[in-house]
Amino acid sequence: MGIITSDKKAYWPDGCVPFQIDIDNSVFPTTVNRINTAVAAWNDLEVGIRLIPRTTQTNYISFQSLGGGTLDFCSSTSAGMAGGIQIILVPENPNPAVSCRIVHEIGHALGMIHEHTRSDRDDWVTIDFDNVEPLKVANFVKANGTGSIDVGSYDYSSMMHYCRRSFAIDPSKDVFIAPPTNGYANLLCSLGAYEFSLGDQATAARFTAGNTHVYKTFPHGEVNHTVDMRSWSAGWTITAPFSIGSKNYLFFLKEGDGWMIVREINSDGSIGEIVDNQDWSSGWTSAAIYTIWGKNHLFLLKKGDGRMHVNEINADGTIGPIIDNKDWSSGWTSASTFAIGGQNYLFLLKESDGQMHVNRINADGTIGPIIDNKDWSSGWTSASTFAIGGQNYLFLLKESDGRMHVNRINADGTIGALVDNRDWSSGWTTAKTFAIGGQNYLFLLKRGNGRMHMHQITPNGKIGSMIDLRMWSPGWTTVSFYSTVQGTYVSMMKA
């Protein structure tokens, strides 16, 4: 089926590839049209690959001129995402019949490698190296397997396979000879300029595989590269990171059956081994982790019946005993904790009627009295707190109509004045704030179509300019940000 790079850092996050065409359309309209047709062919595959016009993304593909009105080949500078600008060279040949396959070069940029360099190549074809142009011999060398992965079985029809006489010294003789099966010569280069074999499609799908991904961010907040990709069981609805000393952990919980696990986070941001797993009752819909005097606590809440628990978290990352449990009213859909001057607070909100509470958290980790309650409008589906220079803020968002508010949080923990409000598009299902080096950011995601925006947050708590935009696959439901000694990461899961 194919061969791909084994380095996950070279996989474009969830298959989204920003690109720009740096060729003058007024001078070479045929070339630009061929590039756009190749891009559309990839986007029409429905294997998770999406090429989007670049805005400000740091990592992107640039289509540039190879020069020469009679040249008949293309070139890609890297197999997979290399970081920064990544060039695909296209000849300025106005002849639409040129054999240069731009989809092939895009395949390289995604991380696909020549089919005829698979480790099992010799079982399927024999190459007459005496008939290969000396400067092109490297294009026929078999992969050693240390930096690549063979996907499925050998695919004669792959658009990543050279034609039978590619780069032949004597163009009347085959480079690929002694086929073990009849009809192979007719399969090579049998596809049209913008076609893919079934093997090509299955291979490309590997770049977006799994329902759990981890991406590293740049120091300026933008998504950088892939770190981890896993295929785990479905149903995980809650994740929450926490730290104990130098170790980082990620808490996972399923609303449907109450299965809970805690995994250690590796220093490179990837998700490590399980350190705890328990079967709890079903129905937990909100979780928050807070720290008091160096001790971590886990807050849990059920929307359905208002059941609340607080558990201690042990020094080894396992979940300890329940230290608080209460039966509150049902309907609480958002829970977030924040701290002001060493005092911790719990913010609660109901989507259905807009009821809001702020509770003081006691020094022993139990939930204390209500210090603020308000009746707001209904429909708020996302809530996140953040701090800038000692001032706390509350971000709120409605999925139904895109209404956004930012409120200042007063020094006594009560919710203060509105400092920002906008009307955005509807459909945002995830909103997370995070900080890198003193700069705060807002991450937004739509489960329905995978659209992601990243914004800077200004020093006065207002939502600033967009610094990142991606079109990922739909279905992402659970997002967490965490940091290790090597940087800041975002983990995403599909329930």
**Whole-number Å distance between alpha carbons of 208 and 49:** 8
Collect all residues with Cβ–Cβ distance below 8 Å to 468 and sequence separation of at least 6. 56, 57, 221, 222, 223, 452, 453, 454
Is residue 176 within 8 Å of 186, Cβ to Cβ?
Answer: no
Catalytic residue among 92, 105, 115, 399: 105
Mind giving me the DSSP string for 334-351? EEEEEEETTEEEEEEEET
Among the listed residues 391, 380, 483, the one whose alpha carbon sits nearest the alpha carbon of residue 434: 483
Among the listed residues 36, 30, 38, the one whose alpha carbon sits nearest the alpha carbon of residue 93: 30
Please confirm, yes or no, whether 105 is among the known catalytic residues.
yes
**Whole-number Å distance between alpha carbons of 41 and 287:** 43
Is residue 272 within 8 Å of 266, Cβ to Cβ?
Answer: yes
**Whole-number Å distance between alpha carbons of 107 and 197:** 13
Report residue 183 as tokens.
Answer: 């009809």
Residue 243, number of CB atoms within 10 A of its CB: 16
150: left (phi over 0), alpha (psi -120 to 50) or beta: beta
Report residue 443 as tokens.
Answer: 């991450």
SS3 271: strand
**Whole-number Å distance between alpha carbons of 141 and 495:** 42
Is residue 461 within 8 Å of 394, Cβ to Cβ?
Answer: no
Report residue 115 as tokens.
Answer: 């089919």
List 27's β-bridge partners, or say none.
none
User: According to DSSP H, which parts of 123-237 are helical?
Assistant: 184-187, 198-204
Strand ordering across the sheet containing 430-436: 430-436, 439-445, 451-457, 463-471
How many residues would you count in the chain?
495
Give backbone dihedrals phi and psi of 219, rounded to 5 degrees, phi first.
-60, -20
**Whole-number Å distance between alpha carbons of 323 and 364:** 9
**Whole-number Å distance between alpha carbons of 445 and 431:** 7
Among the listed residues 399, 397, 395, the one whose alpha carbon sits nearest the alpha carbon of residue 440: 395
Active centre residues (catalytic): 105
